[in-house]
Amino acid sequence: MSAPNKSYDPVEVEALKPEQIERMRDEALAAFAAADSLDALHEAKVAHTGPTSPLALANREIGALPPHAKADAGKRVGQARGAVNKGLAARQAELEAERDARVLVEEAVDVTLPYDRVPAGARHPLTTMMERVADVFVSMGYEIAEGPEVEAEWFNFDALNFGPDHPARQMQDTFFVQTASNSGSAAGKGADSDGESGVVLRTHTSPVQARAMLDREPPVYVVCPGRVFRTDELDATHTPVFHQIELLAVDEGLTMADLKGTLDHMVQSLFGADMKTRLRPNYFPFTEPSAEMDMLCYVCKGESVGNPDRSCRTCSSEGWIELGGCGMVNPRVLTACGVDPEKYSGFAFGFGIERMLMFRHNVEDMRDMVEGDVRFTRPFGMEI
């Protein structure tokens, strides 16, 4: 900055010469015009309007001028700065408009694009069916109980009163599991293959009954859904891996009437208020007496029996659909599981979920349930 000087002529101060001021203004305007982005414009703005810009420095010189020269120089610098600010604002508006237009194109969302390229899945109907049945009992206060799929032979058979040579042991066609302790005997004899490993893939959910009784003090009210295994070939009506649901109630004074009432309540909850069950004598080692349980055909309600005009696919016009097995828990089972049969009695039943799914939804081939084709599962997707 020059020192105050009374005889000072602004024209003499280099930075305040009119052509210099014009040059500064024109350079600023040219820099703004050349800025091709808002960032570049910001740099040009700092360079040409900031505190160290040529025009700002020139402006500072004015203070050192004699009073008569101040107005003239001030006017010139002021006009130049005004033009620069105007030019800046105009370019700023231009670049912002360009940016907004570009963002609209670049960040556009095509709301017409399909949104469902990843189709919604569906829970497997076996799962929903099992939960549906279990819920009937949970709402009555039963507890869900689970046991291992790889089960001790003792729980699967012995605790349930299957004698060592009981034909059911073969009848059930069991998968015996090779375990570390029995896999490599010195004689090279695989104990698993002749059924001596003591470990099986459970052939039914009934071993959970024994576990539940050993785990708790009576009264016991449990429902046990789960996967079971038998050495069947996979075909339209068999699968080596399938599902059962088991029920066990142990309390003082339970009778066959409680079993019957519970079964009726279950089929009414699942299939409608006018449903009922019937029991036919049968034999299971772990129940005495034992029965086969049938439910009224929920489609024809028995009306197809002896009525050729009203044949029923669901029950083959038999009026009843076979569900599974049931009975009063054999006192020997109670004893094996630490429950006093003099004080307590119990009832139990078990049935297959695949079968229920087949007749409830007219699934004709069991393989559809295991093959994992979503075209089978998806129609069940609306069931919760």
Binding site for Mg(2+), residues?
Answer: 288
Query: In this chain, which of 133, 348, 358, 369 binds ligand DAH, going by CB under 6 A?
Result: 348
For ligand DAH, which stretch binds (CB under 6 A), given 191-199, 219-227, 342-350, 370-378? 342-350
Q: Among all chains, which residue has been given the structure tokens 């297959």?
A: 352
Judged by beta carbon, residue 53 or residue 203, the one nearer ligand DAH is 203
Query: Is residue 350 part of the contact set for ligand DAH (CB under 6 A)?
Result: yes
d(CA 328, CA 286): 8
284 binds ligand DAH (CB under 6 A): yes
Q: Which is nearer to ligand DAH, 225 or 325 (CB)?
A: 325
Output the smallest distance, CB 156 to ligand DAH, in A: 10
**Smallest separation, CB 207 to ligand DAH (Å):** 9
d(CA 149, CA 226): 8
CB of 360 to ligand DAH, least distance (A): 19
Report which of 121, 120, 3, 23 is spatially closest to residue 64, judged by C-alpha positions.
3
Dihedral (CA of 241, 244, 250, 253) sign: negative
Stretch that binds ligand DAH, among 8-16, 89-97, 322-330, 372-380 (CB under 6 A): 322-330
Binders of ligand DAH among residues 157 to 216 (CB under 6 A) are 204, 206
Confirm or reject binding of residue 359 to ligand DAH (CB under 6 A). Answer: no
CB of 319 to ligand DAH, least distance (A): 22
Contact region with ligand DAH (CB under 6 A), list: 10-18, 65-73, 319-327, 332-340: 319-327
Among 55, 254, 326, 353, binds ligand DAH (CB under 6 A): 326
* Closer by beta carbon to ligand DAH, 151 or else 246: 246
CA-to-CA distance for 238 and 295, rounded, in angstroms? 21
* One character per residue 103-142, x = contact with ligand DAH (rule: CB under 6 A): ----------------------------------------
Please give the residues from 228 up to 247 whose contact with ligand DAH meets the rule CB under 6 A. Answer: 246
Residue number with the smallest Cβ distance to ligand DAH: 325
Q: Does 324 bind ligand DAH (CB under 6 A)?
A: yes
User: Do 351 and 136 meet the contact criterion of CB atoms below 8 Å apart?
Assistant: no
Is the peptide bond preceding residue 289 cis, with omega within 30 degrees of 0?
yes
Q: Which long-range contacts (CB under 8 A, 24 or more apart) does 11-19 make?
A: 13/61, 13/64, 13/65, 13/73, 15/54, 15/57, 15/58, 15/61, 16/58, 16/61, 16/62, 16/65, 16/73, 16/76, 16/77, 18/76
Question: What's the full length of the chain, in residues?
Answer: 384
- Minimum separation from the CB atom of position 127 to ligand DAH (A): 20
Examine residue 287 and tell whether it contacts ligand DAH (CB under 6 A): yes
Stretch that binds ligand DAH, among 49-57, 141-149, 344-352, 354-362 (CB under 6 A): 344-352
Contact between 325 and ligand DAH by CB under 6 A: the answer reads yes
Choose one: 70-78, 325-333, 359-367, 368-376; the region binding ligand DAH (CB under 6 A). 325-333
Least gap, CB of 231 to ligand DAH (angstroms): 14
Q: Is 349 in the site for ligand DAH (CB under 6 A)?
A: yes
Q: Let me know: does 265 contact 306? Beta carbons within 8 Å.
A: no
Give the residue from 240, 203, 206 showing the smallest Cα distance to 223: 206
From the list 122-130, 216-224, 263-271, 345-353, the region that binds ligand DAH by CB under 6 A is 345-353
Which residues of this chain interact with ligand DAH, rule CB under 6 A?
204, 206, 246, 284, 287, 324-327, 348-350
